[in-house]
Amino acid sequence: MTDDIVVIVPARQAAREIGSALASVAGQSVQPAEIVVVDDGSTDGTAEVARRWEHLLPLTVLRHDEPAGAGAARRRAIAASRSPLLALLDADDVWLPGHLATLADIHQHHGGIVTADAYRWLPAKGVLRATHHDHNPVPAPSRQAGEILRRNYVFVGSLFSRRSYLSAGGFRDGVAEDWDLWIRMIRHGATVHATRRPTVLYRLSPSSVSNRPDAIDGYIAVLERALAEAGSERERDVVAASLRRMRARRHLARAQAAAARGDRHDARAEGAATAGGPARMKVEALGLRVCPRVSARVGRALRQRYWG
């Protein structure tokens, strides 16, 4: 047993997946001291399915009567536990048997945030060739503080100390609450260490990696917080540039949505507002302005390549 680790599992409408997630914890080569599942206001029996594992695992199942978000669920789970190391598991993901031992060994030698690589698993298609870190590599330590303000390269299936988590202020509410936490932990001196090989099956669905404007609103909120809390002019400049790109991405997403529903006026107007984005984004926006429906179909086909 790994007697210093608690597994933190937020779960919402996860009755079909939570059993597989907990089975993967039961199948670890070393076992955690605690597992805390917080059912975040589910109506599908998630908590009841999770409780079936209480006789096999050191499991505590808590429940929110109303949905409060993944950040609140993780905060409650962490507050309800004692172990000094925190391992995050999403309710729809699955750990391979050596996951916890691998992360714990790296943390013992290096500390910081240990982030797993993951096989991207689309249940309708199977396991895809490229891993999570193939798409989002972890940069060298000297570049991590700047790069985390540009993109979230830390996979949610990570392990870190309770002390480091608390010193950064813990999870806050909002979309991409994990990215918000990594930014603050790295600001406080944490270094990110990646596993050499995948140890997680990361379940994907079209909504998992969508380009929806409402999801991008959450990413913008993270960056706006990072800008308000920036500690130097250099950091503010990096975040400001990231915000310009993300706002341009929101305009592009809105243009794509308008083109898909046949609203040429809005597609062109939103496409024209992508001036702060990179060249690739401007090219796609120009296509949406010139020929919205054709460009939207081409864009969907290109994004579909993500699925393998």
pLDDT tens, 57-105?
Answer: 999 999 999 999 999 999 999 999 999 999 999 999 999 999 999 999 9
pTM, 2 dp:
0.90
Q: What is the 3-state secondary structure of 47-92? A: HHHHHCCCCCCCEEEEEECCCCCHHHHHHHHHHCCCCCEEEECCCC
How much is the average pLDDT of 18-34? 97
| Domain-terminating residue out of 203, 225, 247 | 203
Residues 66, 191: one domain? yes
265 and 156, same structural domain? no
- Assess whether 246 and 276 both reside in one domain: yes
Quick check: 304 pLDDT over 80? no
Residues 6+ apart with CB under 8 A from 189: none
Asked, for residue 208, whether it belongs to a domain, the answer is: no
The whole-number pLDDT of residue 285 equals 62
Position 172 in a domain:
yes
C-alpha closest to that of 8 among 37, 30, 48, 51: 37
Residues 301 and 176 in one domain: no
pLDDT confidence band for 281 (50 / 70 / 90): low
| pLDDT (tens digit per residue) in 183-235 | 999 999 999 999 999 999 999 865 454 445 678 999 999 999 999 999 999 99
Specify the residue for token string 């199977």. 126
